[in-house]
Structure 1
Amino acid sequence: MHGKGTSTGKRYARTDELGVPFAITVDSTSSVTVRERDNKQQIRVNVEEVAAEIKEVTDGLSTWGDVLWKYPTHSS
C-alpha cells in the first residue's frame, strides 16, 4: 500500500484523517496489531480471528470494549 520508508505512525495518521476506524498491521504470519482510531489503543489478535472480531464491532454485535476485554493491549 505504501512505499518503504514510510513510518507506521505516518500511515496511522493518514488513515485517521480519512476516518478509518481500525488500522491493522501485520506482525507475523500468525498475528496482527489492531489499532482503534479514537483512543489509539492497540491489541494483538490472531490472524485467523481478526476479520470476525472487526466485523462484530462494525456490525454492532460487540463493542471495542468487548474486544479489549478478550485481547491484551499492545504497545508499539
Structure 2
Amino acid sequence: MPALMNFFRSQQAQHAFAEVRAGDLLRVLKGRGLEVTAETRERIESCKDMDVLGTWLDRAATASRSEELFADA
C-alpha cells in the first residue's frame, strides 16, 4: 500500500491528474458554448497546478468568456 500512495504523490501522477482536470475544464467551456482560443487552450493545458486548475474550473461554470478564468492570475 505505501508504494501505491507514493505513486499518487509522485510528480508523474500529479501531472496526469492535471491533464485530466485541464481536459475537464476545456469540456465545460465547450459545453457552455464559450470560445476557446489557441492561447487559452495552451495556458490551460500547460498548467500543472491542481489548485489553479480547480479555481479555473469553478470559474468556468459562470464565466461569460473563457478569458475570465484568468481574472487574477
**TM-score where L is the length of structure 1:** 0.31
**TM-score where L is the length of structure 2:** 0.32
Compare the two structures and name the one with the higher helix fraction. 2
Bigger Cα Rg: 2
